[in-house]
Amino acid sequence: MDKKVIGIGMSGGVDSSAAAYLLKSQGYDVIGITMHLIDNQKSIDSINDAKRVCEELGIKHVVLDLRDKFKSIVIKNFIDSYKNGVTPNPCCVCNKYFKFGLFYEEAVKLGCDYISTGHYAKIIDGKLYRADVLEKDQSYFLWGINKEVLNKVILPLQDYNDKEKVRELALKAGISVSNKKDSQEICFIPNDDYKAFLDSNLDILPKHGDICLKDGTVLGKHNGLIYYTVGQRKGLNISYKEPLYVIKLDVENNRLIVGSNDDLFGCSLVAKEVNLLLDNLPDELYAKVRSRGQLKKCVVAFLDDNKMQVKLLENERAITLGQSVVLYDKNNCCLGGGIIEEVF
């Protein structure tokens, strides 16, 4: 029987490198595939690191130039979201359209039977599950992928929840990036400086406006709504008798609405662009509204235009427009999700 061919997304980091080693050790014919997404030196360095690792492992390396598409989809969505007063999650968009979308299509053209990444999550019988160590879990970011593609995905690190053990594996395998520092920032934001990135990519800089309480009392001026997000406390530069937080971005009136910590709590939302990973959902559902959030029991009603209403059975703090709400069952199986467009 011919060996199965698998294309693995190679970022030049330790996770994908270790995953590629594991796949080769398991007998797959492995092709390392690196997506060139950004025009900067860091991206070039990552491509070179991935190429070197593939040489060390004795596997083929392919580079896909997707810079134009990445700019028109992920970066444009990021900028437009902030313009519209919402806080995007570009990793979810990238996973949906690139790492498990265009990447899969190109891998099939290369003759791959499966695709793989270095994500920390589990796939069992074609279903996506949270990682055993929840601090490492990345299933929240994978809700948008096509469920048909999910059957073609292998995650070699799904049983490796300790990053040091992954580094030890890479070192033992002779992989040169075994001690490479993890990147915690969004790949296209230099130095993790959102403000500088937005300033340099906006046609028109945002206008200053009023910072107000819910009753309309003006407390100060904001520097432009794109620089703020729900739940933010620091950087408001206003004085008040109690701590104040951003509770709403009023784009229509260019006002930043602030209030107490209690004002940040809510339990109902509407999400758009819903993607379900299972045909039939169980009666008992759980949701979380941020990657490091807690699962909370919920009730879901599906609406027209591929939307759903989610009611959490206990309040959640700072539910934020533009972020993802992700559904799970009681066994930590990821059922899908959507992008939050309304909170009430």
Catalytic residues: 94, 187
Q: Beta strand 5-9 with 29-36: parallel, antiparallel or unpaired? A: parallel
Please name the amino acid found at residue 102. L
> Residue 340, SS3?
strand
Backbone conformation region of residue 306, classed left if phi is above 0, alpha if psi is from -120 to 50, else beta: left
Closest listed residue to residue 312, CA positions, set 297, 331, 292:
297
- What CA–CA distance (Å, rounded) separates 50 from 12? 4
> Residue 30, SS3?
strand
Q: Which two tokens stand for residue 290?
A: 């941020």
- Sign of the alpha-carbon dihedral angle for 238, 244, 246, 248: negative
Question: Could you write out the three-class secondary structure of 112-135?
Answer: CCEEECCCCCEEECCEEECCCCHH
Number of Cβ within a 10 Å radius of residue 27: 9
